Amino acid sequence: MLGNWIKTFVLMAGITALFGSVGAAFGGFGGMVIALAFAGAMNIYAYWFSDKAVLKMYGAQEVTPDNVQFRIYYQMVKELAENAALPMPKVYVIDEQQPNAFATGRNPAHAAVAATVGIMKMLNERELRGVMAHELAHVKHRDTLISTISATMAGGISAIAQFGMFFGGGRGGGRPNLIIGLLIMFLAPMAAGLIQMAISRAREYEADRSGAEISGDPKSLASALEKIHHYAHQIPNQTAERHPETGQMMIINPLSGKGLKGLFSTHPQTEERVRRLLAMVV
């Protein structure tokens, strides 16, 4: 638990420093002050509102207990949350055909889980149960704080090169250094991808293991991962393609991997995840 708080602090501090450096490169001291102020505001927004922003981005609709269409899904999450000794999270559905799911929220008391319509169509009930147990494991381990914040921060990093538009001159009144600008345009999305890659792989293995314990059915989660991996690469997720920084939140990488989007491929190999889960089967 403490490790994720430390990671979150380091992430926020690192990105604040990056923004300050870029502001200084483009606008000297004045540019640095503006960039640091922007980074501070983004840190506050990311902590308190990033979960709502991601859910809105995906057009997620909340599922209530009296919703007939998704009653089984809602009751499934409720039962699994009780198994995991967690408060009941908010439950959402996303009108997206690609099979996938994610969890978000700054802590277990303010958590939400979301699943696509596609995953409900393609998985049987036991497999879906395994997937939602995996997502609740992320909530239990407080992975959702750093994953949601990193998605928001990465989106900000991708736009960092545009700071040059706000600063008419570089140090000494000269024009901004073109080489620095080009380097930032190239390195900013790469930095975002590396940050997320560093925080994502190990936590997926742990969420698989803990999720299998919560559901009591590692074999079904393994089967679900194989199905999702197969179909997710055939059915595009347009929202994820437009916002690749959110891909690391999903149970399976939703991105096509073309161009710079490949930098955001943060998930471990599905085959290895399946192997570890099947090793848990007694």
Give bridge partners of residue 91 from the DSSP assignment: 63, 113
Nearest alpha-carbon partner for 261 in 179, 196, 180? 196
CB 253 within 8 A of CB 244: no
The 3 state secondary structure assigned to the chain is CHHHHHHHHHHHHHHHHHHHHHHHHHHHHHHHHHHHHHHHHHHHHHHHHHHHHHHHHCCCEEECCCCCCCHHHHHHHHHHHHHCCCCCCEEEEECCCCCCEEEECCCHHHCEEEEEHHHHHHCCHHHHHHHHHHHHHHHHCCHHHHHHHHHHHHHHHHCHHHHHHCCCCCHHHCCCCHHHHHHHHHHHHHHHHHHHHHHHHHHHHHHHHHHHHHHCCHHHHHHHHHHHHHHHCCCCCHHHHHCHHHHHHECCCCCCCCHHHHHHCCCCCHHHHHHHHHCCCC
Find the catalytic residue in 135, 204, 206, 272: 135
Residues 184 and 190: their CA atoms lie apart, in Å, by 10
Catalytic annotation on 272?
no
Tokens representing 169 are 């001159």
| Catalytic machinery residues | 135
